[in-house]
């Protein structure tokens, strides 16, 4: 996977980390494409790491006014960056459009209708309106975030990057669905573009994005290479401290480091058995949903049920594979940390 500045932020400590998070929040609230954000924040991280290693203060990098620094630091971002960010965000709309169009081409509702005469069964107007509404929400939230950072030097807790993504995802999905239903109810006869045009336009857009945005940043990296760096070390140290705090309250002796490492090692072995759960779950979900649909509405033909089950199983398997990959990464991280602690002894 692509390397990124985010893998190195845990090297920062104290005030250096706080200032980086403030500037990061400000930069993420701007209309700037991903590559430009990565490059700018990577450069800022390098400056802070150098100052931390050399014993210089945070103010030697940012000055006394963090808001003014943010404005000057991002002053050269312009319309080109906003345009590229729009293309980045548009990919979130085009991907489902391409998938749905392809499915309708492969499995048409009325095979008697010619390929070039087909119209999409979904309401494209609703998709476009939902995307536009998501852009409005994004603009408003980003404006609130920037104002807070500039005014107080702090980032709003609700709008920290992970939570901001969640808010936008939920709001965008709900608004898209709402506009689809409204468009179906209020504008049922609205002209729709040909299905082949939707498929050709969406696939062409994604291919162009793949060509022009395939630029690795800082080379490539394996997440497991950072298993003993920063976050995992802090998390495990804090976990041991909390365990011993609870044991003291109960009048039990504290765990030694070796005892704690043994418990973590045993826990990692138990977690590995979850792989069977992630393998079985897609089949279970697919079986239940297919049987439920067959009992409630039924399928027009046995082939329809087979196609539905195959697509459902493929989607669920992909999701579970991604979740297991993250779970396995966590196990590997803990084992590498355990090994590093024993090597230090």
Give the model confidence (pLDDT) of 238-288 as tens digits. 788 888 888 888 888 888 888 888 888 888 888 888 888 888 888 988 888
Q: Are 281 and 316 in contact (CB under 8 A)?
A: yes
d(CA 125, CA 105): 19
pLDDT, the chain, mean: 76
| Topology adopted by domain 1-77 | c-terminal domain of poly(a) binding protein (1.10.1900)
How is the chain split into domains, by residue range?
1-77, 226-344
Cα distance between residue 73 and residue 62, in whole Å: 9
φ, ψ for residue 205, nearest 5 deg: -60, -45
Q: Do 158 and 226 touch, CB atoms closer than 8 A?
A: no
Segment 117-175, tens digit of pLDDT: 777 766 676 667 666 776 777 777 778 777 777 776 555 554 444 455 556 556 656 66
Whether the predicted model's global pTM rises above the 0.75 cut: no
- Closest CA relative to residue 123, chosen from 144, 145, 141, 96: 96
């Amino acid at each position: 996977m692509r390397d990124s500045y985010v893998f190195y932020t845990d090297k920062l400590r104290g005030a250096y980390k706080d200032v980086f998070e403030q500037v990061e929040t400000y930069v993420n609230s701007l209309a700037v494409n991903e590559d430009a954000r990565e490059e700018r924040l990577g450069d800022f991280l390098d400056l802070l790491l150098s100052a931390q290693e050399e014993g210089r203060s945070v103010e030697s990098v940012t000055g006394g006014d963090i808001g003014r620094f943010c404005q000057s630091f991002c002053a050269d971002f312009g319309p080109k960056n906003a345009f590229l960010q729009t293309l980045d965000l548009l990919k979130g709309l085009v991907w489902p459009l391409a998938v749905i169009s392809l499915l309708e081409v492969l499995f048409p509702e009325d095979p008697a209708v010619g390929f070039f005469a087909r119209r999409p069964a979904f309401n494209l107007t609703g998709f476009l309106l939902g995307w536009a509404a998501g852009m409005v929400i994004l603009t408003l939230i980003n404006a609130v975030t920037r104002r807070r950072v500039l005014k107080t030097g702090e980032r709003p807790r609700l709008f920290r990057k992970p939570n901001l993504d969640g808010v936008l995802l939920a709001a965008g999905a709900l608004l898209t669905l709402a506009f689809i239903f409204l468009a179906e109810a209020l504008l049922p006869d609205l002209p729709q573009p040909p299905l082949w045009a939707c498929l050709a336009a969406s696939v062409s857009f994604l291919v162009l994005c793949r060509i022009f945005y395939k630029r690795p940043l800082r080379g490539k990296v394996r997440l497991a290479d950072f298993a003993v760096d920063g976050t995992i070390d802090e998390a495990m140290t804090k976990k041991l401290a909390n365990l011993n705090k609870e044991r003291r309250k109960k009048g039990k002796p504290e765990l030694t480091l070796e005892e704690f490492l043994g418990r973590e090692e045993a826990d990692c072995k138990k977690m590995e058995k979850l792989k069977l759960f992630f393998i079985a779950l897609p089949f279970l979900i697919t079986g239940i949903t297919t049987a439920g649909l067959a009992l409630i509405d039924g399928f027009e033909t046995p082939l329809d049920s087979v196609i539905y089950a195959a697509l459902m199983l493929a989607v669920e398997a992909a999701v579970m594979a991604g979740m297991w990959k993250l779970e396995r990464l966590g196990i590997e991280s803990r084992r590498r940390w355990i090994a590093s602690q024993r090597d230090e002894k």
